Structure 1
Amino acid sequence: MSLDPTARRRRPGRSRAAGWLVAAVTLFAAVLALPGTASAAGHGHVTHPQLDWAGSTVRAHEGGGHGEPVVPATTQTPGMDVSAYQGDVDWSTAWNNGARFAYVKATESTTYTNPYFAQQYNGSYNVGMIRGAYHFATPDTSGGATQADYFVGHGGGWSADGRTLPPALDIEYNPYGATCYGLSQSAMVGWIAAFSDEVHARTGRYPVIYTTTDWWTSCTGNYGGFASANPLWIARYSTGPGTLPAGWGYQTFWQYADSGTLPGDQDYFNGAYDRLQALATG
C-alpha cells in the first residue's frame, strides 16, 4: 500500500520538533545542575521563609520541654529572639518582663527579608535593649559569601555603639529537605567559613553561630575550628545547654525554650549585663 505523501512530509517535521524538545530539556537540566542554581546541593527552594526562625526545626528533631529551665549558677542575662512569625512585638512589655537583649531575623537565602524587621530591630533598641540581627542559612541555594553579602545589606550590620550585638548565622536542620542541605561535612565547613569571613570583612565582627550540637556533629563532623573567633549560640530545650560542639568551652548564648514569658524564643546570655555590653561594644 502506498503512503499518503502528506504523511511522509509530516513525519520529518514531528521528528525535528521532538529533537528540539529533547535538546531544550537537556539544556535546562544542565543549567539546573550548575553550582549555585536552585537545584544544586539538594534542590534548594525557599518557599516558607516566614515560618523559618532560629529553632523552628529543633523541637521536631530533638524534642525538649517548654518553659523556664534550671538556671546555671553563673549570672545569666535574659533575652529573646523573634522573626516575622511574631509580627509586631510589644517591646515595652518584653522589657518589663526582664528581656535585656533581642536577636531579630533579618534575612533568609538571598530572596527574603523579614517584613517586620524595622519594628522589631528598632523597637527593641528604643526600649533600651541590646539587639542584633541574624540570618537563616540555606546553604543549598547560594554560596556562603553571597548570603553574607545579602544579610549585611539587609539589616545584618554592626556598629560599635554598645547596643548592637554581632551579626549571627542561624545554621540548623533544613526545613525544606535533607538535614545537611545536600552538602558533605567538608563542604558545609567551607560554606560556614565563607559566610563568616565575608561578614567579618564587611562589618569587622565575626558572626555568632547559632546551632545545635546534634546538627553540628552530623553536618560538619563536629568541626572545632570556629570556636576561636565565633561566639556560640547553642539551642537546647532542657535544663542546661548540655555538651557543646567541639572547640567551644562555653556558650555565649543559650536558647533554652521556644515559648515562655517573653515573645518568641527564650534565651540567656552567659554572663552579667556588663559582659553583654562588652560583647556589643567589641
Structure 2
Amino acid sequence: MRKLSIVLAITGGIILLVGVSLFLLGFFKPKLAGISITTTPAATVFIDNVQVGRTPYEGTSQPGEVTVKLVPESADIPLSPYETKVVLSSGIKTVIKREFAETEEKSSGEIISFEKVGGSEASLAVISIPDSAQVAVDGVSRGFAPVKVSSINPTEHQVVVSRPGYGPRSISIKALAGFKLTLFVKLAPDGANPSPTPAPIEIEEKATFIQILSTPTGFLRVRSEPGSGGVELAQVKPSEEFPFIEDDKATGWFKIEYQKGKQGWVSNQYSKKVEKTTSAATPSPSPSPTPKPAP
C-alpha cells in the first residue's frame, strides 16, 4: 500500500510539472505578428517562398523578417511582380498595398510597419520613391521625404505624399504609443496606372524651411549632431534656405536637408524657421532649388 502511494505521488508530481511547464511555455511565447496585403489587380502571395494564398490576404506569422512576393494575376497585359522584405512585430499588423503596372517604375503602393521603441510617445517616419516628395500629415506640411516626426498623437492620421509629375497617395494610419510607424510610399508617374489618379490636396499647405542668418564668419557650419561638439559636415551661407526636418528640444538646434539625401544640424542662434505656401504645381526642391553648401 505504501509503495502504491509513493507511485501515485510521483505520477501526480510529474503530471503537475508537465502541466506547469506547458502553461509557462504558452504564457511566455511571443504573440504572433499580423500581415494584411491588398493589391490591384489580385495577386498570388508568397511568404518566404511558400505560397500562402491570394489577395486580399490576411494572415499571421512568427515575429521577424520575412520576404513577401506578390505575383499579379492579369490575362490582358503582363504586369511587374513585386518582392520586398518586411519585419513583422509581435501583436502588430503590417500592411502592404500595391497597384501593379507593366513596370516597377509605373507601379505604386505603400507599406505600413512598426518598430517597438518603448516609452509612451508615438513617432512617424515617411520614406518615398522617388525621394523628396512632399509629406503632409492631417493637412499640415511636414517637409520632404525622407522625413521623421519625432512625436505624434497615438491616434488615427491622414498622410498625403505628393510630388509634381506623380500621382499623389493618401494613406490612413494609426500611430501607436511606444512604437515608431514607418510609412514607405512608392509613387507612380501621372497616368501610369489604369486606375484614376487621386485628386490633389484641395487646401494650400505650408512647408517649413530654415533660413540662414548673418554670422561673424560669413557662413554657418552644418554638424552631425546638435551642439558644437558635432562633426562638421558642410558650410551654408546666410540667406540660403533649406527644408526643415526636426528640432532638438535640448539645444534648440534645427535639423535640415542641406543637400539632396543629406541631413545635418545648424545652430538656432544663426538660423530661423520660415513658412512657405506650396501647392501641387510648386516644383520639388530636388535637385534644385535647394541651395548647395559652400565647399
Q: TM-score, normalised by structure 2?
A: 0.30
User: In terms of Rg, which structure is larger?
Assistant: 2
Higher relative CO (CA 8 A, sep ≥ 6), structure 1 or 2?
Answer: 1
